[in-house]
Structure 1
Amino acid sequence: MPEKARVRPVDEADLQERTLASLAPYRDQDGRIHTIWATLAHHEDALRRYLVFSNHVLGKNTLPLASRELMILRIAARARAAYEWDQHVRIARRAGLSDETVLAAATGAWDGLDELDQILLAATDSLIDRQNVDDELWSRLTAHLSVQQTIDVLYTVGQYLTIATVINTLGVQTKGDPALALPPTDQKEVQA
Structure 2
Amino acid sequence: MARVPLLDAEDLPEEYRYLFDQNDVGTADIFRGMANAPTQFQWYMRYSSRLWEILPARERELVILAAARALEHPYEWHQHVRLGREAGVSDEEITAISEGRGEPFDAQDAALLTYARAVALGDVRDGDHDQLREEYDDEIVVGVAMLAAHYVATARVLDAMGIEPEEEFVGWQV
TM superposition shift of 1:118: 1.2
Correspondence for 1:94:
86
Task: Give the length in aligned residue pairs.
Answer: 173
More relative contact order in 1 or in 2 (CA 8 Å, sep 6+)?
A: 1
- Residue segments in structure 1 that go unaligned for 5+ positions in a row: 184-192
What is the distance in 2 between the residues matched to 1:174 and 1:137? Answer: 31
Unaligned runs of 5+ in 2: none
Whether contact under 8 Å (2:70, 2:121) holds in the other structure is no
Q: Which residue of 2 aligns with 1:18?
A: 15
Q: What does residue range 23-172 of structure 1 map to in structure 2 within 5 Å?
A: 23-26=20-23, 28=25, 33-58=27-52, 60-61=53-54, 63-130=55-122, 133-172=124-163
* Cα root mean square deviation, aligned: 1.9
Shift of 1:45: 1.1
Letter in 1 for 2:17: L
Following superposition, which runs of at least 4 residues in structure 1 exceed 3 angstroms of deviation? none
Deviation per residue, 1:123-143 (Å, 9 max, x gap): 122222335x33332222111
User: What is the CA–CA distance in structure 2 between the aligned matches of 1:161 and 1:105, rounded to whole Å?
Assistant: 17
Match of 1:186 in 2: none
**TM-score when scaled to structure 2?**
0.88
User: 2:21 is paired with a residue of what secondary structure?
Assistant: coil
Worse-superposed segment, 78-87 or 101-110 = 78-87
Query: By how many angstroms is 1:27 displaced?
Result: 6.2
Check conservation: 2:20, 2:27, Cα contact below 8 A.
Answer: yes
| TM-score, with structure 1 as normaliser | 0.81
Question: Are 1:84 and 1:164, in contact at CA under 8 Å, matched by a contact in 2?
Answer: yes
Q: Of 176, 181, 188, which aligns to 2:171? A: 181
**1:47-94 alpha-carbon deviations (Å, 9 max, x no partner):** 111211011122x22x23222212211222222322211111111111
Seen in structure 2, the aligned counterparts of structure 1 residues 126 and 80 have a Cα distance that, compared at 3 Å, is closer
Structure 1 residues 68 and 177: alpha-carbon distance in aligned structure 2, compared to 1, 3 A threshold: same
Percent identity over the alignment is: 27
